Structure 1
Amino acid sequence: LKNALQQDRNMLAAHLLLAKAYLAEGDVGPAEVAFREALRLGVNRAEVAVPLARIYLLQGRPQTLLDAVSVDGLPASVRLEVLTLRGTAYASLGKVQEAARSFADARAVDPGSAIPLVAEVPVLLAAGRGEAARDAAALAVTLASQDAAAYNARASVAHASGDLGGALKDYEQAIVLKPDYLDVRVARAGILVDLGRDADARKDLDDLAAGAPAEPRVAYLRALLANRRGDAQAASMHLDEVARLVDSLPIEWLGGQEQLLMAGALAHHAGRQYEKARKYLEVLHTRYPRNQGARKLLAAVYIDTADYPRATGLLENVLRAQPGDAQALHLLGRTYLAQKRYAKATELLERAAALGGGDPGVHTSLGFSQLGQGDRGAAISNLRTAFDRTPGDLALAVSLSNLYMREGEANKALDVAQRVSAALPSNPAALNLLGMIRAASGDLANGRAAYVEALRRDPAFLPARLNLARVDVEEGRFGDARTAYAVLLRKNSHDAKVMYESALLEQRAGQPAEALRWVEKAAAEQPADVRIGLMLITLRAATGDKPGARDAARALSARRPGNLAVLEALARAEIDVNGIKAAQQTLREMTRLAEFDAGALVR
């Protein structure tokens, strides 16, 4: 065809055939150019109206479709299709009434056609008109019992209403009628995932990934399966693929694709790319206001970025529409928890726990809220409930084991550390936690063994390397610890954490001058670090440099205003140099900051 056009640029038939070939291959840009050239050369509009309209929708240009593709003068069969496509374009622009009118006009052209009914079903679902969508889909199947699209429409209605069995049956019938129907095969795989039929879902998704490697929904479902089987690396890889694929799509077209917007938002949220997730979710929130899942995920993004007022507003709107939504209650509880409004957070999270069954996330948040209220017993109980259901949650295991240690229940802390280590056998951080609990319980030998095993799994894992050196210090093997720290500092001569550990080592070894030298170096690297700064104040005072201790305390206080521990050190340093008025001023500031915290006020 290209050779023919080189010979004669005005060969109408060649332009038309070339346009159809491009469109069949999904190459919509060149297809549009070829169709428009055919129009210029005088092709009958009926030949190109439908493919051009479809191209404009695929390009995310619904307004161009409405402006450029009219129904005037078209034969009935073509007019019906164009009116249907115009209805979809109006819906993409949020013009619901115009869309309904265009679909009705299409049905009036041929009441026996299923085409406009099938196209209107997703529009009705998005508008929350489930019964109307169900009636349209049922009529479409009646009118076109051999049309895969009609069964897909009826399946999507069942899927949206939670009738997974009915949806699966219709999706499978659609695949019988059209085996390469991508949307249907993706939807069926999604239902298999929801039903827990992971082996069947994985087989379908592997086949789809081979045949449609650029389909983001397939990558997202594969990520869900990988996460379910505990393969965090594969899940992360698939989510990165989702984000890359969705980001590469034209934003104008993407704005009309609810599922793809949600997939992109979920992938970016999982990857902590909150700004990119927010971009997709705000489009979803505007274009699909009935999508409460998108609204809740957008609220979660606002929580993660500390935009609590906007998160609260969104979640209160969700709860007005769905008062028993456990996930929304959980998120709103997290919002109040982040603002340290523990009583309100606990009230909401208790409601979420009652409604949400065994959601470990709710129990985790509730436990932290109760901890903030000082109800340690209830907090530990809820955190334990959450951990028992998710023993592979390392962050939860760290919090719970530390709580047990503070309560003097070392055996329970050890049980938590052992279980998370068993759940995450290749994770050096889990082994590091096990070593910490063993060492803190006085079992230095087995603590050392856990650290050694963590380093065998990952020789560059710094926390285990430092903890192993700390065991050396506890056992009085100061030379071994110094050697370990020297090796680390050769790799990174600016590592303030290693300098601080070296200071602790020398302090333990009875070398205060050497300890002071190391902490001075650490403070030079990280002057705003509270732990390092407090040690610098203490060591200067202990070595007789009380004015130097006061100077260090003032410098740290300037960098960490409002920190009660720093202010306390400053008050003591002022008293040590007889700066009574300055100390009194600092203590008054501490009293103001402590407010109703009785423990802090007594201190």
Structure 2
Amino acid sequence: MKSNLPLNKLLLILALNPVQISFADDIQAGKFYEEALQSYRNQNNAEAIIQLKNALQQNERYVSAHMLLGEIYLQQKSLTEAEVQLSLAKQLGADPSLIAENLAKLYTYQIRYNDLLKEIDPAQFNSGLRPVLHVYRGNAYLQLNLISEALNEFDIALQIAPNQVNAAIGRANALLKRGDIKGADQAAEKAMQMQANDAGVWYAKGSIKHANMELDEALKFYDKAIELNPAHVDTRLARAGLLMDLKRDERARQDLEYMRQAYPFEPKAAYLHAVLLERNNQREAATKELEVAADIITGIKPEYLSAHGPTLMLSGLVNYSLQRFDLAAEYLRQYVKQYPEQSGPYKLLATILLQKNEPEQAIDLLRPMQIRNPQDQRLAFLLGSAFMQAGKHDMANNLFGKAAALGNESGSLQTEIGLNRLAMGQEQAAVQDLEVAFKKNPDAIQAGIPLVALYMSRGEPEKALKTAQALHEKASKNFTLLNLLGTAQVNTGQYKQARQSFEKAIELNPNFLDAQINLSKLDVGENKLDQARQRLQILQQNYPGDIDILIELAKVEQSAGRYQAANDWLAKAKMMDQKSLPTLLALVELNLKMGKAAEANAAAQAAEMIDKNNPQVIDALARSYLANNNKEKALGVFIRMADQARFNVKQLYKAARYQIDAGDYFEAIKTLKKAVLVDENHIPSQIALVEMELNHGKPVFALSRAESLLKQYPKRAFPHRLLGNIADHDKNLSLANSHYQAAFELEPDTTSLMLLYENLKKIDQPDKAFNLLDQWIKKHPQDQLPMAAFADELLKSGKFKEAEKHYVELLKQFPNEPQFLNNLAYVYLNTGNDKALSLAEQAHKLAPDQPSTNDTLGWILVNTGQIEQGLHYLRNAHSLLSQDPEIRYHIAVALNHLQRKDEAKQELEEALKTNTGFNGRELAKALLEQLRP
């Protein structure tokens, strides 16, 4: 039926129909929303999403549905979807207080820290929400490396809500990032008192332990944090990194796989996972993970990315690993502009520029950084590589020499990690990483060359030689590797082979100065000083502007005892460059050798003005102060050396050794404690700390630490040696013997042998001690220290012919060792060899202040009829070692020859007062009987 309505009625109906439909839709939308809310509360997010989408189909302007859907997506880490829903809610007029926290969280995940700081103003909200938002702002400032601003936000949060645990945690993290470990620990303790079951508290405590290198303790805290909150992203990443450092790859993999699933937008998780896969030879999977990380980074808006330094750096690493060098270089250029003080990114950027064949850009980039960091081997190597690529070979060779010939290959991720750790002074970890990298790719000289240098510096010459040989076999025409091989051969005593390697390097490149100089050093080592001098003088004529040649000439003259000639060469070098650190340091050494302490100190202070932070300069300065009897200043410099070492365990250990030598035992213990905190696997520091605690600190601490080391290294000898030393200190010789025996059985080396030998003599088992040395020498005829001890035993027991054989052998290796010359002279005296006097004179000339050389020379003179001359040396010997009964016996014989019978009798009585045995004791008794009335 047709109805005709008035116009006004029709208009009213048209106006009301949308409202009526909207009411109907809203009713249905409301039902869907309530069902979604119930599903959400029952943790059934999948069903909740379906119902919310149904609600929005009924009413696309349903603000509550947008807000809840945004929150669920945020929980699921679906950031793009979350951003859409929260933005719509905001546009539709949602109460800002209902979405502010979720927006802050979203911006944090998206690294939109500047947006967070710009848009989230806590002052607009109530006191319940304000502290939470101040914490988000504090964390944003922290990510932007604005520590003071971050602390201000956390402090405001705590003023509003004194029990706001996240603010206390934020303070701890900010103080730790500033380097205030004590303050960070106090803040973390305060947070712990507020809420002991908060995962963030345990993460903060773990981070502090991690920074202190208390790795096992850090791991415990991280484990607890994840137990409390398995989704705590910072802890997961930190624990994964720590587990990777500890080589606990399976546990690290579990954390990273969890992260990849729970936080798919986190590029660092993908990158670390790639590193782990690469380390375990899963290269294809590693590449895929790197591509995932790169895709995540690509999805970050450039303005957000450029504002966040850590992600910029990560972007450079990821793209570099994927060999996307243009992108990597762009990211790294942005990073170094923001953080110009960090050398690591410069090195990576330079490596990329070299691979892109842009050496001039690399030179421009690295030159200022290398000047600021002249001791950074990696920087020097990269700059050398840039010069080589640019065809400037002289500059390249010079820098390669200064950098100890670090490699020039891009290498694997493992190599880069190892080199970075090496730059930080973490040698043990660097060695482990580089060994893995080199094992994977024996062609990789970037891993191989620093491995050789590390092995040599750590006293592992055989490993160094093996690695150098492997490198050379892969590139037999590489003169730099030949030079490296020669250096490794020198370290193992293969002088003939080393000379051949250096000569072959020069044959390949006649202008290769490093090998030429190494040949001269080899000449000096073989006591061919004239040959070394001649070689260097020819080089100096061909390269008159090369300071290194002048310095080496000075060293040759110094070795020859021609100190003035050495000084002349160094003066010439100084005229060429007043600010040459190598020249000034060489002047310090020469003047110390000449006894010119004031001149040495002046040179050291001049070097300090050029580079006050250079470890070699600090070292020279301290020793020059000691030479000037200014112990107070020297000790101050040693403390400075320890402070500047920071996390470089090798430098810390060196500083501690100096402090020990200077008698500053309290500071030495402090320095060694810092060293073992930095790297608990640095065994020399652990050993030195136990020894210092035992002799100059608290022996109970020494015992505790040694026992702990035994648990940590049950198959190593050194914990047993330390425990043996502690037992010896406590006069428990039987227990000491047990430990020394255990050490020798675990590692039958010279150190354990000599400790066991000395202890056997202490517990009155001389025959066993003698047999121990006898058996060792038969198996190890080239081991000089036991051979010297064995020769001494033979000498004391009157077995002169056998002793002679060993001393002759020892003198082949050490022709200028006064002890061996002296003892052989004594042997010859007793065997009737007329060379006795000339050997004794030679020994005395080399060591005129040793009682033994004076006694032997004097005794030989007495026995050859030169009584008065002999008595002079014997008196010298007695004045140097008055308690030695044998010297008194020798004096008595001389006095008796001079008819000074009463004096001779007195000397004999003093010599025979003790029960100490000595050569000639029975003869002394007989002579005394003759002299008695």
Question: Which interval holds the TM-score relative to the shorter structure?
Answer: 0.5 to 0.7
Which one of the candidate residues 217, 221, 227 is aligned to 2:278? Answer: 227
Q: Tell me how far 1:176 sits from its aligned partner.
A: 0.7
1:7-55, Cα deviation, whole Å (9 max, x unpaired): 4455443333233233323344454454455456554432222112222
Partner of residue 466, structure 2: 388
Partner of residue 249, structure 2: 198
Relative to 1, partners in 2 of residues 1:209 and 1:68: Cα closer, same or farther, differing over 3 Å?
closer
Partner of residue 442, structure 1: none
Which one of the candidate residues 36, 39, 58 is aligned to 2:109? Answer: 58
The count of corresponding residues between Structure 1 and Structure 2 is 397
Partner of residue 185, structure 1: 236
Relative to 1, partners in 2 of residues 1:162 and 1:232: Cα closer, same or farther, differing over 3 Å?
same
Confirm whether residue 119 of structure 1 aligns to residue 170 of structure 2.
yes
Which one of the candidate residues 339, 342, 364 is aligned to 1:309? Answer: 364
Relative to 1, partners in 2 of residues 1:35 and 1:198: Cα closer, same or farther, differing over 3 Å?
closer
Matches within 5 A, 1:91-110: 91-92=142-143, 95-110=146-161
- Where 1:77 maps in the other structure, the secondary structure is coil
Which deviates the most, 268-277 or 357-366? 357-366
Q: Tell me how far 1:208 sits from its aligned partner.
A: 4.7
Structure with more contact order per residue of length (Cα contacts < 8 Å, sep ≥ 6): 1
Partner of residue 398, structure 1: 474
Q: Report if the CA contact (8 A) 1:219-1:238 is conserved.
A: yes
Which one of the candidate residues 198, 202, 219 is aligned to 1:168? Answer: 219
Q: What amino acid is the match of 1:77?
A: G
Q: Distance in 1 between matches of 2:190 and 2:298?
A: 37
1:229-248, Cα deviation, whole Å (9 max, x unpaired): 44544444443443343333
Matches within 5 A, 1:531-542: none
Q: Distance in 2 between matches of 1:210 and 1:20?
A: 18
Confirm whether residue 141 of structure 1 aligns to residue 192 of structure 2.
yes
Q: Distance in 1 between matches of 2:131 and 2:378?
A: 43
Q: Report if the CA contact (8 A) 1:114-1:144 is conserved.
A: yes
Which deviates the most, 74-83 or 215-224? 215-224
Q: Report if the CA contact (8 A) 2:380-2:403 is conserved.
A: yes
1:393-433, Cα deviation, whole Å (9 max, x unpaired): 7xx643147769999x9xxxxxxxxxxxxxxxxxxxxxxxx
Partner of residue 443, structure 1: none
Relative to 1, partners in 2 of residues 1:363 and 1:272: Cα closer, same or farther, differing over 3 Å?
closer
Q: Report if the CA contact (8 A) 1:192-1:200 is conserved.
A: yes
- Where 2:67 maps in the other structure, the secondary structure is helix
Confirm whether residue 348 of structure 1 aligns to residue 403 of structure 2.
yes
Partner of residue 473, structure 1: none
Matches within 5 A, 1:508-527: none
Q: Distance in 1 between matches of 2:463 and 2:59?
A: 77
Q: Distance in 2 between matches of 1:276 and 1:194?
A: 28
Partner of residue 298, structure 1: 349
Relative to 1, partners in 2 of residues 1:397 and 1:252: Cα closer, same or farther, differing over 3 Å?
farther
Partner of residue 641, structure 2: none
Q: Report if the CA contact (8 A) 2:63-2:94 is conserved.
A: yes
Relative to 1, partners in 2 of residues 1:349 and 1:363: Cα closer, same or farther, differing over 3 Å?
farther
Q: Tell me how far 1:193 sits from its aligned partner.
A: 1.3
Relative to 1, partners in 2 of residues 1:343 and 1:172: Cα closer, same or farther, differing over 3 Å?
same
Relative to 1, partners in 2 of residues 1:242 and 1:120: Cα closer, same or farther, differing over 3 Å?
same
Relative to 1, partners in 2 of residues 1:280 and 1:169: Cα closer, same or farther, differing over 3 Å?
farther
Partner of residue 575, structure 1: none
Relative to 1, partners in 2 of residues 1:120 and 1:392: Cα closer, same or farther, differing over 3 Å?
farther
Higher-Rg member (1/2): 2
1:460-497, Cα deviation, whole Å (9 max, x unpaired): xxxxxxxxxxxxxxxxxxxxxxxxxxxxxxxxxxxxxx
Q: Distance in 2 between matches of 1:132 and 1:186?
A: 24
1:152-206, Cα deviation, whole Å (9 max, x unpaired): 2232333344332222111111111012334422322221111122343344445
Relative to 1, partners in 2 of residues 1:367 and 1:59: Cα closer, same or farther, differing over 3 Å?
closer
Q: Tell me how far 1:286 sits from its aligned partner.
A: 4.2
Matches within 5 A, 1:150-549: 150-206=201-257, 208-209=259-260, 215-255=266-306, 259-287=310-338, 292-304=343-355, 305-306=358-359, 307-317=362-372, 319=373, 327-328=378-379, 330-331=381-382, 334=385, 339-340=392-393, 341=395, 342-349=397-404, 388-389=466-467, 397-400=473-476
Which deviates the most, 189-198 or 53-62? 53-62
Q: Tell me how far 1:296 sits from its aligned partner.
A: 3.7
Relative to 1, partners in 2 of residues 1:308 and 1:207: Cα closer, same or farther, differing over 3 Å?
same
Relative to 1, partners in 2 of residues 1:241 and 1:180: Cα closer, same or farther, differing over 3 Å?
same
Which deviates the most, 176-185 or 396-405? 396-405
Question: So what's the TM-score if we normalise by structure 2?
Answer: 0.37
Q: Report if the CA contact (8 A) 2:268-2:314 is conserved.
A: yes
Q: Distance in 1 between matches of 2:113 and 2:183?
A: 24
Q: Report if the CA contact (8 A) 2:377-2:403 is conserved.
A: no
Q: Distance in 1 between matches of 2:481 and 2:100?
A: 73
Q: Distance in 2 between matches of 1:365 and 1:269?
A: 22
- Where 2:122 maps in the other structure, the secondary structure is coil
Q: Distance in 2 between matches of 1:367 and 1:151?
A: 38
Q: Distance in 2 between matches of 1:153 and 1:61?
A: 23
Q: Report if the CA contact (8 A) 2:77-2:263 is conserved.
A: no
Partner of residue 685, structure 2: none
Q: Distance in 2 between matches of 1:332 and 1:264?
A: 24
Q: Tell me how far 1:269 sits from its aligned partner.
A: 2.1
Q: Report if the CA contact (8 A) 1:363-1:386 is conserved.
A: no
Q: Which runs of 5+ in 1 are unaligned?
A: 370-377, 410-594, 598-603
- Where 2:213 maps in the other structure, the secondary structure is coil
Q: Which runs of 5+ in 2 are unaligned?
A: 1-51, 407-418, 439-444, 486-540, 544-933
Relative to 1, partners in 2 of residues 1:238 and 1:404: Cα closer, same or farther, differing over 3 Å?
same
Q: Distance in 2 between matches of 1:103 and 1:233?
A: 44
Q: What amino acid is the match of 1:242?
A: A
Q: Tell me how far 1:334 sits from its aligned partner.
A: 4.6
Relative to 1, partners in 2 of residues 1:332 and 1:366: Cα closer, same or farther, differing over 3 Å?
farther
- Where 1:81 maps in the other structure, the secondary structure is helix
Relative to 1, partners in 2 of residues 1:260 and 1:70: Cα closer, same or farther, differing over 3 Å?
closer
Q: Report if the CA contact (8 A) 1:10-1:41 is conserved.
A: yes
Q: What amino acid is the match of 1:224?
A: V
Partner of residue 721, structure 2: none
Of all paired residues, the percent bearing the same amino acid is 28
Q: Tell me how far 1:596 sits from its aligned partner.
A: 6.8
Q: Tell me how far 1:335 sits from its aligned partner.
A: 5.0
Partner of residue 98, structure 2: 47
Root-mean-square deviation (Å): 4.6
Q: Report if the CA contact (8 A) 1:23-1:31 is conserved.
A: yes
Q: Tell me how far 1:71 sits from its aligned partner.
A: 1.9
Relative to 1, partners in 2 of residues 1:146 and 1:125: Cα closer, same or farther, differing over 3 Å?
same
Q: Distance in 2 between matches of 1:258 and 1:133?
A: 23
Q: Report if the CA contact (8 A) 1:223-1:235 is conserved.
A: yes
Q: What amino acid is the match of 2:401?
A: T
Q: Tell me how far 1:271 sits from its aligned partner.
A: 3.3
Q: Report if the CA contact (8 A) 2:169-2:187 is conserved.
A: yes
Q: Distance in 2 between matches of 1:327 and 1:349?
A: 9
Q: What amino acid is the match of 2:217?
A: G
- Where 2:97 maps in the other structure, the secondary structure is helix
